[in-house]
Amino acid sequence: MNGDDESPESAYQTRRATLEDLPQLRALWQGAHLDPVDLEKRFTEFQIALNVDGEVAGAIGLQMNKLHGLVHSEAFANPNEAAEIRPLLWPRILTVAKNNGLVRL
C-alpha cells in the first residue's frame, strides 16, 4: 500500500498535493477563477482527489497559522462531482489539522 487513502466504494484516491500535481492544479484553479500564481506558492497546503486515471479531480487547501487552520480554495475538475469528492477530502483535512495540533479549524 502506498499510503494513499482509498475507500472501497470510491473511485477516487486522496493524498497531499506534490510538485508533480502542480500543472493539473493550475488548470483546476484557473477553471475555478482562483489565482494560480498565488496558490502555486502554497500547493503543499492542498489535499487532492485523483480519479481512476490518476488525474486531479478535486483539491481543497488548508492554511495553518499557529493553532488555527483555514480551509480555502476548493476546486473541482467537474463541479458536478464536488458533492462526491468533498466528503472524501474532509477526513484528510481533519487528520492534517489534528496532526499539526490545530485547535480551531
First and final C-alpha spacing in the chain: 30
Q: What is the pLDDT of residue 61?
A: 98
Mean pLDDT by 10 residues, the chain (105 residues): 52 96 97 96 97 97 96 96 96 95 94
Q: What is the gyration radius of the CA atoms in the chain, in angstroms?
A: 13
User: Which of these, 40, 1, 2, lies nearest to 21 by C-alpha position?
Assistant: 40
What's the confidence (pLDDT) of residue 4? 54
pLDDT reported for residue 10: 75
- Does the predicted TM-score (pTM) go above 0.85? yes
CA distances from 27 to 55, 58, 88 (A): 11, 11, 21
Q: What is the pLDDT of residue 14?
A: 97
